[in-house]
């Protein structure tokens, strides 16, 4: 195991990132569907350590984010294998696969009908769904604060890409858990970010501690209402 971590640290040292974007306008018939069906080319079952190493290597490419997206799309195209390896989500939270100064990877689980208030990342992001569904509203800064401009719906096997300055809110509309692999082009947990009050849309600070509190409240809600 020590040798695996040594290889990762060596690979992480050279990583870099370039941004692209994928969004769908509100009102289109099939918003946000950016599925890449690569199941035929993926002969091996999902392995979390190999997936992390593949992402680190891809992040060293010239077009780092596009290369990492290909790795993610290939993985979630066989979403059943990802689910089998990571397990059925049973509570809201993050299963961290990699946390480094240049790349963060975790599996995020949303409880049934969970809502995440508008927030930013301050770095590019990739999301690939391996179970359930995730609905996103994309926001932008306007003269009087943020305003909704686009939306997408992510189903099992779908992947989406977000710019470093993207703002989005998230809903799991299902009566079961949603799980997705999230990849960020930086240190997600050490980077100060922002969130917006869901009613007043006033901006507030956010960081890793704020997110932990949010998950704790959501699990409390789920245990009271859904169990």
Distance of CA 214 to the CA centre of its chain: 16
Tell me which residue of 135, 184, 179, 127 sits closest to 158, measured CA to CA: 127
3 has a pLDDT exceeding 50 = no
The answer to which of 11-20, 52-61, 91-100, 190-199 has the lowest mean pLDDT is: 11-20
pLDDT band at residue 67 using 50, 70 and 90 as cut-offs: very high
85 has a pLDDT exceeding 70 = yes
HSE-up (13 A, CA, CB side) for residue 123: 21
pLDDT recorded at residue 207: 86
Distance of CA 21 to the CA centre of its chain: 14
**H-helix or E-strand spanning residue 220:** helix 208-225
pLDDT recorded at residue 199: 94
List CB contacts of 11: < 8 A, sequence separation 6 or more.
Answer: 53, 56, 57, 60
Strands across the sheet with 125-131, in order? 93-99, 104-110, 178-184, 125-131, 159-162
DSSP secondary structure code for residue 39 in this structure: G
pLDDT recorded at residue 81: 97
17-57 pLDDT, tens digit each: 333 333 323 333 333 344 444 444 445 899 999 999 999 99
Counting every residue written for the chain, the total comes to 227
152-204 pLDDT, tens digit each: 999 999 999 999 999 999 999 999 999 999 999 999 999 999 999 999 999 99
DSSP secondary structure code for residue 25 in this structure: B
Tell me which residue of 126, 62, 122, 66 sits closest to 97, measured CA to CA: 126
Domains of the chain: 2-225 (2.60.120.10)
pLDDT recorded at residue 227: 65
pLDDT recorded at residue 122: 96
8 has a pLDDT exceeding 50 = no
Q: How far apart are CA 119 and CA 133, in angstroms?
A: 19
106-137 pLDDT, tens digit each: 999 999 999 999 999 999 999 999 999 999 99
Q: How far apart are CA 139 and CA 56, in angstroms?
A: 30
């Amino acid at each position: 195991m020590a040798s695996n971590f040594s290889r990762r640290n060596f690979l992480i040292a050279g990583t870099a990132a370039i941004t692209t974007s994928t969004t769908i306008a509100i009102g289109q018939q099939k918003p946000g569907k950016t599925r890449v069906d690569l199941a035929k080319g993926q002969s091996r079952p999902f392995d979390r350590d190999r997936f992390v190493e593949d992402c680190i290597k891809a992040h060293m490419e010239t077009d780092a984010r596009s290369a990492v997206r290909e790795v993610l799309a290939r993985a979630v195209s066989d979403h059943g294998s990802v689910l089998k390896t990571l397990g059925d989500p049973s509570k809201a939270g993050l299963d961290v696969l990699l946390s480094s100064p240049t790349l963060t990877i975790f599996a995020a689980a949303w409880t049934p009908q969970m809502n995440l208030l508008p927030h930013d990342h301050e770095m590019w992001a990739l999301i690939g769904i391996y179970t359930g569904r995730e609905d996103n509203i994309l926001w932008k800064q306007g003269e009087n604060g943020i305003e909704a401009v686009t939306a997408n719906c992510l189903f099992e096997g779908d992947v989406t890409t977000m710019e470093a300055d993207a703002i989005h809110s998230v809903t799991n509309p299902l009566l079961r858990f949603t799980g997705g692999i999230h990849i960020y082009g930086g240190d997600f947990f050490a980077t100060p970010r922002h969130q917006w009050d869901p009613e007043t849309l006033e901006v507030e600070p956010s960081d890793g501690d704020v997110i932990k509190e949010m998950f704790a409240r959501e699990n409390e809600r789920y245990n009271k209402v859904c169990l």
